Amino acid sequence: MSIPKALSPGECAFALHCQAEGLSPEREVVFAPPRKWRFDFYFPDRKLAVEIEGGTGMYGRHQRPMGFERDAEKYNTAAIMGITVLRFTTRMVMRGDAISEVLEALK
């Protein structure tokens, strides 16, 4: 078992929103072995993953060509495996959009 990494501000807020709604997603779940890809949050019984994308307001890893390509490979593999991946920015989490959409997806 690995120790989860420290939560980013968006991940911390989303974790609190989940707690307030009585949700207990798994954290830092590795999928598609032997790849080391992880989901920030995962609801295994629903095959629903949540990714909180940081650094979207600047030229961060997710906007650089190789980072974007690696993300595409990760999310496409998840889709082939039947996993729905919902992606949110920190701003979307803070506005409450992320928890609202996750609750809708879990209905």
Give pLDDT tens digits for 18-42. Answer: 999 999 999 999 999 899 999 999 9
Q: Where are the alpha helices (DSSP H) in the chain?
A: 9-20, 65-80, 90-95, 97-106
Give the CATH number of the domain where residue 92 resides: 3.40.960.10
Q: For residue range 46-105, list pLDDT tens digits in order.
A: 999 999 997 555 555 556 567 789 999 999 999 999 999 999 999 999 999 999 999 999
> Is there a contact between 66 and 82 (Cβ–Cβ < 8 Å)?
no
This prediction's pTM: 0.84
> For the CA atoms of the chain, what is the radius of gyration?
13
* 72 falls within a domain: yes
CA nearest neighbour of 8 among 70, 56, 65: 56
The residue segments making up the domain with residue 88 are 9-106
* 88 falls within a domain: yes
Q: Domain tally for the chain? A: 1
Residue 56 pLDDT: 52
Pairing of strands 48-53, 84-89: parallel
* 62 falls within a domain: yes
Residue 100 pLDDT: 98
Residue 54 pLDDT: 74
* 4 falls within a domain: no
* 2 falls within a domain: no
* 82 falls within a domain: yes
